[in-house]
Amino acid sequence: MIYTVTFSPAIDYVVYMDDLKQGETNRSKRETYYFGGKGINVSTVLSRLNVKNTAMGFVSGFTGQALEEGLCEAGLDTDFVHLEEGITRINIKIKTDQETEINAQGAAIPKEKLEELLGKLDALSQGDTLIVSGNVPNTLPKDIYETMLARLDGRGIRLVADATGPLLKKILKYRPFLIKPNKRELEELTGGEIRTEQELAVRAKALQDQGARNVLVSLGADGAYLLCEDGISYRREAIEVKAVNTVGAGDSMIAGFLAGYLKNGDYRCALRLGVAAGAATACSEGLAEKETIMELFQNN
């Protein structure tokens, strides 16, 4: 079974406008909303690719109830910890000719509720996959990733990590199956600007030497690079699409990669499906649907 953890899920409220003028009353052209958070994004795309998984994390208040019910109506399995105070955050995405985001802080997570989540994770066993992604809310200990993975260490659980900076570096010792930095994050982790394909390969190898089994580097308009645990690397150019959305493309790439890998254990196929899923979300208003992903996969 695949499990995703989203510490601070959100309802993304998207407002489309011609222009945004500060200090004045602005009116939208239209609005929509999505249930989000990095782990939930991965769960959603996995589910659309017919890969069974369970979304975990924390929800609270009327917004948390709406998010949980919405995910269930969409066919996702959930196992959230319910907080007694606060509300699940609402993030505001304002789209004009630019994209402006206001991301809320979210509800405080008390120690006993954190222990409840850790208890749920204790039920994971050999062959399960755990996906941890995103930043740690300031209401949680900064070493929560390490705490989680230390409890699960040695159980044969496949770990996928999409984190940044010190968060990622500190969990490499637990030998994650897959990490997915983007180019900028890889540069920050390994010491400066990457100018050539050779430098890209060397920097990915540096993270592999520190413990990561497979290193998937998302390169935006330049596609993706994968260094596999067997030492073989693959490079995939980006699929040309009209980009209308940046939210969730990296999460979709992880979901596509895992769906491809779990089907037949083929890393080349996994990378190809991951790039297709990322591109499919980039050209969609929300997270990609299966039909769009498979069309891009089959035609590229």
Tens digits of per-residue pLDDT, 129-164? Answer: 999 988 888 888 888 989 999 999 999 999 999 888
Predicted local confidence at residue 54, as pLDDT: 97
| Domains of the chain and any CATH numbers | 177-300 (3.40.1190.20)
pLDDT, average across residues 36-58: 96
Average pLDDT, the chain: 93
Neighbours of 268 (CB within 10 A): 13
Neighbours of 177 (CB within 10 A): 18
pLDDT at 5 over 90: yes
CB 200 within 8 A of CB 194: yes
DSSP 162-206: E--HHHHHTTGGG--SEE--BHHHHHHHHTS---SHHHHHHHHHH
Catalytically active residues are 251
Per-residue confidence band for 229, with pLDDT thresholds at 50, 70 and 90: very high
Neighbours of 296 (CB within 10 A): 23
Strands (E) across the chain are located at: 2-6, 10-16, 30-36, 53-60, 77-83, 89-95, 99-102, 129-133, 158-162, 178-179, 214-218, 224-227, 233-236
CB 137 within 8 A of CB 114: no
Per-residue confidence band for 243, with pLDDT thresholds at 50, 70 and 90: confident
Query: How does 72-101 read in b/e, with b if 16+ C-beta sit within 10 Å?
Result: eeeebebebbebeebbbbbbebbbeeeeee
Burial-class residue 71 by CB neighbours within 10 Å (0-12, 13-18, 19+): buried
pTM score, whole prediction: 0.94
pLDDT at 167 over 90: no
First and final CA of the chain: distance in angstroms?
30
pLDDT tens by residue, 171-218: 899 999 999 999 999 998 888 888 999 999 999 999 999 999 999 999
- Percent of the chain at pLDDT above 90? 77
List of long-range contacts for 180-183, beta carbons under 8 Å, 24+ apart: 180/216, 180/217, 180/218, 180/250, 180/253, 180/254, 180/257, 181/207, 181/215, 181/217, 181/218, 182/217, 182/218, 182/219, 182/220, 182/250, 183/217, 183/218, 183/219, 183/220, 183/222
